[in-house]
Amino acid sequence: MKKLKKYILILIIPVIVFFISCEQKVYTGDAVQPSVTNGKIILKTDPAGATVYLNGKNMGVKTPDSLVWLQPGDYDVTLKLKLFKDIKFKATILDDNNVNYYYNYYNDPSNFGSIQCTSKPTSANIILNDSATGLLTPALISKLFPGDYNVKVTAPNCRPDSAIVTVVGGTNQSVSFTLEDTTAWVSYKISNSPIVSNFVSSIAVDNNNVKWVGTLDKGLCRFDGKNWKIFTKTNSPLIYDFINCLAVDRNNNLWIGTPGGLMVYNGATWIDYSSNLPSNYVSSVAFDNLGNTWVGTQEGLVKFNGSSWQTFRTTNSGLGGNFVLSIAVDAQNKLWIGTNAFGISVYDGNNWQVWNMSNMKLTMNVGNGVNNIAVDNSGTVWAAHISNPTVGDVGGTTKFDGQKWSIVQLSGIPSNLVERIWVDQNNYKWIGSKGGLGKFLQPGSIVTFTTTNSKLPASQVKDVVIDANGDLWVGTFGGGLAKLKKGNF
């Protein structure tokens, strides 16, 4: 029996193995995969340079270019070009196909932009990129392709103004101008001209009617009525960008006094005379009737006769004080010298005389500091005294008629804050003060120009001069340079 069971088990096992093996797949080699191909999108635009986005992702390419190795399917493509509207389209990639896409921005009117231009006063001529448009403000300049446009407006008796306007495709830009009325006054400041500073210290007009403008911080400007040229330590041999004074001699040389020395410029050559001075701080330059140059410094008065230099100090002359602030020459060739704290020294070439609070016999202590001094055509000397409350100096303006000194009251401008006295060929005295500008033959009939009653650009007047055309030029502290046209003063 046991033997029979053994035989039956031997027969059953092969059968089970047979059935199990019949359920397994028979290996016939590797399976064949379906073939997959790639497509690409070929992109071109006019103008070129559009950044390409695929399904919202920046692909890092710009037109003209292609997007390659794309699987079949639908794609969202966006082209971004600065100032133009975004271009969006769908591209369908099939097996092994290319999609070509070309877009001309200029042929699509929806890319046009416009500029709304207004002005005060209205009816100003509109000039676009130096070409007349035939339009008057207010006006809409339409059908403009994206880009930067120079918009300029002009009107009679007004200063032209301009601005760069960036037009974006499909949008309207606005620009508005307030034109300066130049019927009488014309201003030159850093916001409307090439002048480099609004802080003017001095003005000189040369024999060619060129205006030379010294600034308190940015060097020297040359203006011929149309063109500006700037001289600084960086772009020229100028030794200092702070200009104290300017003067033009009979040979049309420009003398430039700075806190760093003295220079002369003849239009081509620069000469540095600083080493001939007792101090590099130069406050004033004047020329006498014999052609000598006189230079005021912090350490004395210097004479230059064209070949040699001579220094006058309190130790070797009758000069009242070594710090010279101003120099004027009268018809008799006498020098009137204002000092910082020691009154007025007078020198006739041989003898010295000093005027101060002790012998001027004034009713008030105007002070021994004399900021500026001038001699008019009748020989009267005018002096601007420095206010110094710490020592009791009230400041003010005085005059000397050849016999006595007297205090001058100037109605309309602060006479105790005078910075410049200048006499024109008609013997009018021009007074530049910290509160405005005054003009008079006699002090009782003064005409004033302030920021309230005129277009004077700043209250503090540092210098004034009339050019060959009869125009008045005014240098201000903070308001730049201003011109008052002939016939308006």
Give 233-275 pLDDT, tens digit per residue: 999 999 999 999 999 999 999 999 999 999 999 999 999 999 9
pLDDT number for residue 255: 98
Question: Nearest to residue 374, comparing CAs of 455, 464, 242, 275?
Answer: 464
pLDDT number for residue 384: 98
pLDDT number for residue 121: 96
Query: Residue holding tokens 């079949």?
Result: 72
pLDDT number for residue 96: 74
What's the chain's length in residues? 489
Q: Which CATH superfamily is domain 39-107 in?
A: Carboxypeptidase-like, regulatory domain (2.60.40.1120)
Calpha distance 286→384 (Å, rounded)? 17
CA 366 distance to own-chain centroid:
39
Positive or negative CA dihedral for 367, 368, 373, 375?
Answer: positive
In sequence order, the β-bridge partners of residue 126 are 153
> Is the separation of the CB atoms in 389 and 417 below 8 Å?
no
| Cis, peptide link before residue 414, omega less than 30° from 0 | no
In sequence order, the β-bridge partners of residue 80 are 51
Calpha distance 22→43 (Å, rounded)? 59
Phi and psi at 106, nearest 5°, equal: -70, -20
pLDDT number for residue 308: 97
Tokens at 375, concatenated: 């001699």
Class of the domain covering 185-484: mainly beta
- Three-state secondary structure call for residue 93: strand
DSSP state of 330: -
CA 402 distance to own-chain centroid:
46
> Is the separation of the CB atoms in 335 and 288 below 8 Å?
yes
> Is the separation of the CB atoms in 377 and 441 below 8 Å?
no
Query: Residue holding tokens 């001579």?
Result: 310
Residue type at position 363: T
Provide CB contacts within 8 A for 367, sequence distance 6+: 357, 385, 386, 387, 388, 391, 393, 394, 395, 396
Domains in the chain: boundaries: 39-107, 112-178, 185-484
What is the bridge-based pairing of β-strands 261-265 and 472-476? unpaired
Which ranges of the chain have pLDDT less than 70?
A: 1-37
> Is the separation of the CB atoms in 401 and 353 below 8 Å?
no
pLDDT number for residue 97: 84
pLDDT number for residue 37: 62
Phi and psi at 111, nearest 5°, equal: -85, -10
Q: Which CATH superfamily is domain 112-178 in?
A: Carboxypeptidase-like, regulatory domain (2.60.40.1120)
**pTM of the full predicted structure?**
0.79
What is the bridge-based pairing of β-strands 293-297 and 381-385? unpaired
Tokens at 11, concatenated: 């027969």
CA 209 distance to own-chain centroid:
24
Tokens at 79, concatenated: 């082209």
Neighbours of 307 (CB within 10 A): 5
Asked if the domains at 39-107 and 112-178 fall in one CATH topology, the answer is yes
> Is the separation of the CB atoms in 204 and 243 below 8 Å?
no
pLDDT number for residue 467: 98
pLDDT number for residue 134: 97
Calpha distance 216→219 (Å, rounded)? 7
